[in-house]
Each structure stands twice: as structure tokens, then as C-alpha cells.
Amino acid sequence: MRTQVVIIGAGPSGLLLGHKLRQEGIACIVLERQTGPYVLSRIRAGVLEQVTVGLMEQLGLDARMKAEGLPHDGFNLADGERLIRIDIKGLTGKEVMVYGQTELTRDLMEACGSRDLEVVYEAADVALHDIESDAPYVTYTKDGVEQRIDARFIVGCDGFHGPSRKAIPESVGRGFERVYPFGWLGILADVPPCNHELIYANHERGFALASMRSQTRSRYYIDVPLTEKIEDWSDDRVWDELAIRLGPDAAAHITRGPSLEKSIAPLRSYVFEPMRHGSLLLCGDAAHIVPPTGAKGLNLAASDVHYAAEAMLGFFKANDNDAIAGYSAKALARVWKSERFSWTLTKLMHRFPEDGPFERRMQLAELDYIASSEAAQRSIAENYVGLPV
């Protein structure tokens, strides 16, 4: 089998890129190790920047997002006693969209048939070959039979543990990593949110986040040590801790309910350079991980897709080799800025084990400065709504 581009991974970045290439008449095939229902079962982010919303609009797949999504023109930081509202619409003229990653992925999956995007699910043992040449190929096993796809480019959208990044020789690539000493314990419940906007809370007991997926489904988080076990956290214990950390105003409006999903996710910051080697390009979690503070993960993947699609269009439509050559530097410039914002917000809102009374006072002083400074709020708003691509 032969195509122009093989995309490995049918998460949102792989499907976004596949749809974008097909829209431009570029042949591609998407390979996915898991089943479609498994991909849809992943509970992930829910705040979309302009770049992600814009891609869905360009693809003409934004109808359900616009009908069911929740446009937000602000969010809140809390210091245990008050809410500090960041008016992103007033400060930047833009807004974000609260729309679950699962729903966005569903929209992309359901459009594959009508948009002539071929996705091969349950593709096992995916391996990349000859990526340093102009004729790379991918092998995989489907129903016990080994298959081969020849292409001009391979794009790895297969996450942190996928084979794409591992195909780049150690002598060429380098990873930069910061592993955090805590995880986020998340609870998803069919209850109305406690606030119409997100709340990121810094409390002396630790971090908390009040978020939502819709007007009737809420997503909450608290940070816990990595030694904690999910079975030790009953629903009641989670709700009790959230009420303390989010502060009295938010606690008064929390509606409790049974958890639909509850888990502990470790946090890390990670960037791999370069994001392109030979005929292989990396997108999304295959190249970088951000802590969820600030909701940059999916949106960074979308900006990668934007740059990768630009590069492919330049190559296939204008015979521009420089477009491919420039992909990594262009994508990494935005990646590192987003990593900086996520790291800064994580440091501001979480208690680290090595922190003492001085560091706590510094956090409170920074939050107090943000509360009184439009310039500080503008900087946060610009980064939260998404830097330009």
C-alpha cells in the first residue's frame, strides 16, 4: 500500500491532521493501536484555545462544538480567601471554549467516512523504517497479518509512549524533563459546576481546580502526593477536600454526586528536540507533555497540527522543501512558551515538598500582585487564551 503521509495515532492531533490533509487533497492513512471506543473512553482536557477552535471551524466540524460548548471569557485564581478573576475577553478580545476532548474526538471520528479519511484501528506492532530517507515506510500487524505502507512522510501523533519518538536516534534527539512530586486526583460527576468559570485554587492544604464539561457535568481536581492510592479516596473525602481548598464562596455552591470516573494522574513537563528528523515529524504528546495547569496539552497538539499541515502543503503544493525543514523550529518556539506558562502557573498554585514559609509567602504575594495589576492579568490572559500561531 502507498500513500503520501502516514499518521500514527488517532487521537485528536492525528485526526485533526488527517482531516486537514484530506481537505487539501493530500492522501493519508491514520494508524491506531487501540479500538475506536477505547480512544473515546479517555477522559482528557476540556478548554480549547482559539487555535483549536479555528481548526475545527476550518474543517467545517464545529457545529456541535458551537451548539454544546461553553464559551468562557474569564477564569479565576483563588488564594484561599478570595477569587481573582482574569477577564480574558476584556484583556485580549478573545475567549476560550469549554468542550471536552472526548467530544471533539468524537466529532472528528464520525466525520472520517464522509471526508474520506481512512483510519485503521487495532494496528499492532507499528514500526517505522527508513525515516532518514525520502521513502520511509511503516509496518504493522492487523488480524495477525503484517502490513506495509510506503509514504513520503510519517507523522507521529502517538503520544508519549508510542514508537515514533523512539525511532529518532539518541545521537540526534534530546529530551528535557521535569517530573513533579505530586499528581492530580480527578473526579468527574454529573452535577452542575460550582462556578460558571474555572477556578484554580492555591490553599495551604494544596491545589484544587473546579472545572466543567457542560452545565450538568463537572470535573474537579486536587493535588495529592504520588504515594497516594485512589482506593483511599472515597467520593465523600474528595468532596470534603475540595470544599476546603476551593474556599467558602465556591464551597457554598458545590453540588455533590457519585463519581463517574476517578483517577490520579502524575504531572510532568517534557520537551523532545527536534520535532522533525528526516521524513518523520512529531506532533502532540509524542514530542511534549505539559502539566494540565493552564490547559495547554490538547491546544499545543493543535498548534503542532497547524504547523505540520502548513509544512505538508508547502511541500506537496509548492515543492517547498524549506517548509518541512522549518517545522521543528517553528513548533518548538510555541511549545517552549507554553511550557513556560504551564510551569509558572504550576509553581504558583501548588505546594512543593521543599517549600517552606518563605515560599508560601512568595506565592501569596504574587497572587496579591496579580489581583492589583492589570499588566500581570493581561500577561496571564494572553497566555491562557493562547499565543498566536
The values of phi and psi at residue 107, to 5°, are: -60, -45
User: Could you tell me the pTM of the whole model?
Assistant: 0.94
**What's the pLDDT tens digit per position in 55-75?**
999 999 999 999 999 999 999
- 288 burial (CB, 10 Å; 0-12 / 13-18 / 19+) is buried
**What's the pLDDT tens digit per position in 179-200?**
999 999 999 999 999 999 999 9
Q: Do 255 and 315 belong to one domain?
A: no
Tell me, yes or no, whether 87 lies in a domain.
Answer: no
The values of phi and psi at residue 236, to 5°, are: -60, -40
**Structural domains in the chain (count):** 2
Q: Do 305 and 362 belong to one domain?
A: no
**What's the pLDDT tens digit per position in 277-329?**
999 999 999 999 999 998 899 999 999 999 999 999 999 999 998 999 999 99
* Cross-strand bridge partners of residue 90: none
**What's the pLDDT tens digit per position in 201-256?**
999 999 999 999 889 999 999 999 999 999 999 999 999 999 999 999 999 999 99
Q: Which pLDDT does position 297 carry in this prediction?
A: 92
Q: Decide: 12 and 104 in contact? Cβ < 8 Å.
A: yes
Is the pLDDT score of 41 beyond 90? no
Give the contacts of 333 (CB within 8 A, at least 6 positions apart). none
**What's the pLDDT tens digit per position in 332-362?**
999 999 999 999 999 999 999 999 999 999 9
Q: List the CATH number of the domain containing 37.
A: 3.50.50.60
The set of catalytic residues is 72, 200, 292, 296, 384
Q: Do 137 and 286 belong to one domain?
A: yes
Mean pLDDT of the chain: 95
The residue-averaged pLDDT of 32-42 equals 91
Q: List the CATH number of the domain containing 212.
A: 3.30.9.10
Range of the domain at 233: 181-267+351-385
Helices (H), the chain: 12-23, 36-41, 50-59, 63-68, 88-92, 101-110, 163-166, 235-245, 248-251, 297-318, 321-325, 327-349, 357-372, 374-385
**What's the pLDDT tens digit per position in 86-139?**
999 999 999 999 998 999 999 999 999 999 999 999 999 999 999 999 999 999
Helix or strand or coil: residue 94? Answer: coil
Q: Do 18 and 123 belong to one domain?
A: yes
Q: Which pLDDT does position 80 carry in this prediction?
A: 79
